């Protein structure tokens, strides 16, 4: 199960769940455990990590070792950063994915977003723990050949997540369902026709992740439509 495990770094949760079921059955069969014994007890007995935890730590160790490689070209080519599980989705997913997301004006990726306007993303999520404050960080990933270059994107006042919650206020309690309207202004320095993937990561006061989504977008010309009275 650990063979080539780094490739599972960003596998979807349903895939990791299937592997977890196999590991649970192995633990139960090995000691002929009764059905009533919890899987967490078996893992403590064998000193096993869960599949999701192992699949996260294994690639991190790999990329960390590559980053320290004396070959400068190799160390610059690879870097580890915990990525979002998958692109924005309308279906409910466990873990760091929100319960639901909707990008205004977009049905299928990549979303075509005009310059000089706000991209508006409606996010429904459940808080994984008690949080006092929330901030939203944005990173644009630009493809250059085989490389994906991350560029931090300043959301300015839109980064204050608590100011854009609907019907609730910070602080938030564990398990609370939150409706969040995320906005990002598309600046003119993004050339028309540029295709990037933007990652939005909401973190708490300790910079610990609360949710993470990725949105593939293509920049289009500014809209000339105006609403008149």
Q: Which residue would you say has higher pLDDT here, 10 or 156?
A: 156
pLDDT tens digits along 180-207? 999 999 888 778 888 888 889 999 999 8
Tell me: cis bond preceding 110? Omega within 30 of 0 counts: yes
Cα 109 to Cα 87: distance, rounded to the nearest angstrom = 9
When pLDDT is averaged across residues 56-71 and rounded to a whole number, the result is 66
Q: Looking at residues 109-117, what average pLDDT do you find?
A: 87
Does residue 151 sit in helix, strand or coil? strand
Contact assessment for residue 39 and residue 53, using Cβ atoms and an 8 Å cutoff: no
The pLDDT-based confidence of 160 (bands split at 50, 70, 90) is: very high
Average pLDDT over residues 216-225: 80
Pairing of strands 177-185, 100-103: unpaired
| Per-residue pLDDT tens digits for 24-48 | 888 888 888 887 888 888 778 777 7
Residue (of 143, 141, 7) closest to 62 by Cα position: 7
Residue 215: pLDDT over 80: yes
Give me the pLDDT at residue 18, please.
80
Taking 80 as the threshold, does the pLDDT of residue 92 lie above it? no
Residue 229: per-residue pLDDT: 39
pTM of the entire structure?
Answer: 0.57
Contact 183, 164 (CB under 8 A): yes
Lowest mean pLDDT, pick from 32-46, 101-115, 127-141: 32-46
Domains of the chain (ranges, CATH numbers): 5-77 (no CATH), 100-220 (2.60.40.770)
CA distance 179 to 125: 7
pLDDT > 90 in the chain, percent = 18
Spatial separation of the C-alpha atoms in residues 120 and 113, rounded to whole Å? 10
Residue 211 β-bridge partners: 202
CA dist 126 and 129 (Å) reads: 9
How far is 91 from 215, CA to CA, in rounded Å?
A: 15
Task: Give SS3 for 175.
Answer: coil
The answer to whether 11 and 55 are in contact (CB under 8 A) is: yes
């Amino acid at each position: 199960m650990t063979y080539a495990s780094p490739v599972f770094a960003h596998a979807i949760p349903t895939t990791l769940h299937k592997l977890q079921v196999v590991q649970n059955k192995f633990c139960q069969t090995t000691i002929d455990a009764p059905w009533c014994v919890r899987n967490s007890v078996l893992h403590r007995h064998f000193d096993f990590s869960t599949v999701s935890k192992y699949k996260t730590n294994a690639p991190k160790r790999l990329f960390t070792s590559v980053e320290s490689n004396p070959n400068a070209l190799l160390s610059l080519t690879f870097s580890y950063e915990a990525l979002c599980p998958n692109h924005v989705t309308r279906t409910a997913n466990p873990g760091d994915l929100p319960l639901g997301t909707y990008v205004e004006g977009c049905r299928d990726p990549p979303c075509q977003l005009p310059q000089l306007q706000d991209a508006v993303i409606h996010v429904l999520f459940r808080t994984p723990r008690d949080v006092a404050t929330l901030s939203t960080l944005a990173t644009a990933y630009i493809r250059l050949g085989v490389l994906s270059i991350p560029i931090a994107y300043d959301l300015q006042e839109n980064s204050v997540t608590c100011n854009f919650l609907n019907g609730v206020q910070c602080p938030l309690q564990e398990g609370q369902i939150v409706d969040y309207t995320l906005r990002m202004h598309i600046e003119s320095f993004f050339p028309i026709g540029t295709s990037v993937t933007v990652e939005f990561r909401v973190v708490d006061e300790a910079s610990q992740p609360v949710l993470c989504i990725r949105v593939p977008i293509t920049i289009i010309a500014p809209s000339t439509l105006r609403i008149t009275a």
